Amino acid sequence: MLNHRFFFLWTLLAVLSASCGSSSQDHPASTKAVAYRNPVVRASMPDPTVIRAHDGYFYVYATEDTRNVPIMKSKDLAEWTYAGRAFTEEGRPSFVTGGGIWAPDINFIDGQYVLYYAMSVWGGEMTCGIGVAVSPAPAGPFADQGKLFTSDEIGVRNSIDPCYVETDDGKFLVWGSFHGIYAAPLSEDGLSLAPGAVEDKVRLAGTAFEAPCLEKHGDFYYLFASVGSCCAGINSTYRTVVGRSSSIWGPYVDKEGVSMVDNGYTVLIGPNEAFVGNGHNAGIVRDDAGQDWILYHGIDTGHPDGGRYLLLDPVQWDVEGWPYIEGGSPSTAARPLPVFTAR
């Protein structure tokens, strides 16, 4: 992971490498970028989560060196600039003492920005857990609200990788890492577990998965997740996979009808010669032209020591309503930018 001292330099390099043109604020409109090329951030930005804030910018949050959560912002999902860090050193969650901050999940709930995060150390499957912080602004700083639960309290080993879900039935947290994907009800403000949540938790998927991301599209709920090894450099086998259900509570099945509880899945993003270890996606973002997009991390095979870079690709939907990425792996050629006209 990058340390704090070098993150600014890496961010500058990311901006220069991600853009195929310059901002219209600096040059005539005719030179404005119309395309992008992966990676959109050539710096380590694992486990991305994204939100479009009220100021019109997209903000992406990621795992960095586990001391904090770096934040970048963009108007178009492709050209990113550094925006800050989620926590001040003094405001770093006390819950994570002895561990690291992993896998953030950003949301806007009841008038404030709510950041769920995982606390973990390698091998600490029963002591890790999930906490929550809030801020009036997307770039923070976030005020920690403490832990939601630890693995031993909720009864699920390796309780990391949170994903917030809100439906007409209430607010829920989905989470899990290779010991089952679970969902449990949250309080009305989303800042704590609901009474009885330990007993009311529901298993959505089996032990093959981590990094859940639950999305509604059409008549189905889609459970995106990752399988394989995330962090073995050029040998990483991470892939983004998906299953779907007509009910938020499942059963989620793959294209062949195999339940995700039984570790069935359909691969969405696999490896290619340019990028491996492609996973832990953010939620689906729809642009103003109606095109869906997905952000996720991957390892550049030409620079395997650079960390997990931020990648972007359009999501298509087949005639049966299943999502797919053109070619089944990260794009490497220049692609048209997402369309965002409203500012």
pLDDT tens column, 200-256 = 999 999 999 999 999 999 999 999 999 999 999 999 999 999 999 999 999 999 999
Q: Is the pLDDT of residue 183 over 70?
A: yes
Distance CA 341, CA 94 (A): 41
Distance CA 216, CA 323 (A): 12
* pLDDT computed for residue 124 by the predictor: 75
Q: Is the pLDDT of residue 134 over 60?
A: yes
Q: Is the pLDDT of residue 3 over 70?
A: no
Contact of 99 with 119, CB cutoff 8 Å = yes
Least confident residue range of 5-14, 125-134, 140-149, 164-173: 5-14
CA dihedral over 332, 334, 340, 343, signed as positive or negative: positive
The catalytic residues are 47, 210
* pLDDT computed for residue 94 by the predictor: 83
- Count of Cβ atoms closer than 10 Å to residue 77 Cβ: 23
* pLDDT computed for residue 65 by the predictor: 64
Integer CA distances (angstroms), 9 to 62, 67, 82, 320, 336, in order: 17, 18, 10, 45, 27
More confident residue, 180 or 20: 180
255, 229, 228: which is closest to 242 by C-alpha? 255
- Count of Cβ atoms closer than 10 Å to residue 112 Cβ: 16
Distance CA 220, CA 231 (A): 31
Amino acid identity of residue 215, one-letter, is: E
Q: What is the mean pLDDT of residues 320-324?
A: 98
- pLDDT-derived band of residue 19, with 50, 70 and 90 as boundaries? very low
Distance CA 70, CA 76 (A): 19
- pLDDT-derived band of residue 95, with 50, 70 and 90 as boundaries? confident
* pLDDT computed for residue 1 by the predictor: 40
Q: What is the mean pLDDT of residues 192-199?
A: 96
**Ranges of each domain in the chain:** 4-336
Contact of 96 with 119, CB cutoff 8 Å = yes
* 4-336: CATH topology: Tachylectin-2; Chain A (2.115.10)
Distance CA 127, CA 40 (A): 35
Share of the chain above pLDDT 90, in %: 81
Least confident residue range of 114-123, 138-147, 300-309: 114-123
Average pLDDT, the chain: 90
- At 248-301, the pLDDT tens digits run 999 999 999 999 999 999 999 999 999 999 999 999 999 999 999 999 999 999
- At 46-80, the pLDDT tens digits run 999 999 999 999 999 999 766 789 999 999 999 99
Residue 220, judged by CB atoms within 10 A of its CB (0-12, 13-18, 19+), counts as: middle
Q: pTM, whole model, 2 decimals?
A: 0.90
Peptide bond into 136 cis (omega under 30): no
* pLDDT computed for residue 32 by the predictor: 67
* pLDDT computed for residue 12 by the predictor: 41
CA dihedral over 11, 54, 100, 240, signed as positive or negative: negative
Distance CA 285, CA 292 (A): 6
Amino acid identity of residue 335, one-letter, is: R
Structure tokens at 183: 């969902």
Contact of 312 with 295, CB cutoff 8 Å = yes
* pLDDT computed for residue 121 by the predictor: 74
